[in-house]
A = this chain, B = another copy of it.
Amino acid sequence: MPRQPSATPRKQPKQERSQATVEAILSATTHILTENGYDQLTTNRVAEQAGVSIGSLYQYFPNKEALVFALAEHHANEMVQLAQYHLEGLSVGEASLQANRTIPEVLRQIVKAAVAAHAVNPKLHRVLHEQIPHREVMQRLDEAKMENLLRAFLAQRSDQLQPKNLELTVFVVERTVRALIHGAMIDRPELLKTGEFEQELIAMLSAYLVKK
Q: Which residues of A contact B (CB under 8 A)?
A: 38-39, 130-136, 162-163, 165, 168-169, 171-172, 175-176, 178-180, 183-184, 188, 191, 196-197, 200-201, 203-205, 207-208
Chain B contacts for A162, CB-based, 8 A: 203, 207
A68 to B169, CA, bound (A): 36
Is the beta-carbon distance between A168 and B208 smaller than 8 angstroms? no
A62 to chain B, nearest CB (A): 14
A144 to chain B, nearest CB (A): 12
In the complex, which residue of chain B has the Cβ closest to the Cβ of A178?
B179
The 3 nearest A-B residue pairs measured at CB: A179-B179, A207-B207, A204-B208
A83 to B104, CA, bound (A): 34
List 6 additional contacts besides A131-B133, A171-B191, A176-B179; criterion CB under 8 Å. A38-B133, A130-B133, A168-B200, A203-B208, A204-B207, A207-B208
Chain B contacts for A201, CB-based, 8 A: 172
Is the beta-carbon distance between B175 and A183 smaller than 8 angstroms? yes
Q: Which of B38, B131, B196 has a CB less than 8 Å from the CB of A168?
A: B196
A162 to B199, CA, bound (A): 13
Q: Which of A132, A171, A197 has the most CB of B within 10 A?
A: A171
Chain B contacts for A39, CB-based, 8 A: 133-134
Given A208-B207, A208-B208, A200-B130 contact (CB < 8 Å): no
Chain B contacts for A180, CB-based, 8 A: 172, 175-176, 179
Pairs A–B under 8 Å by Cβ, sample size 5: A130-B133, A163-B203, A168-B191, A171-B188, A179-B180
Is the beta-carbon distance between A183 and B191 smaller than 8 angstroms? no
Q: Which of B132, B165, B178 has a CB less than 8 Å from the CB of A196?
A: B165
A163 to B165, CA, bound (A): 27
A201 to chain B, nearest CB (A): 7
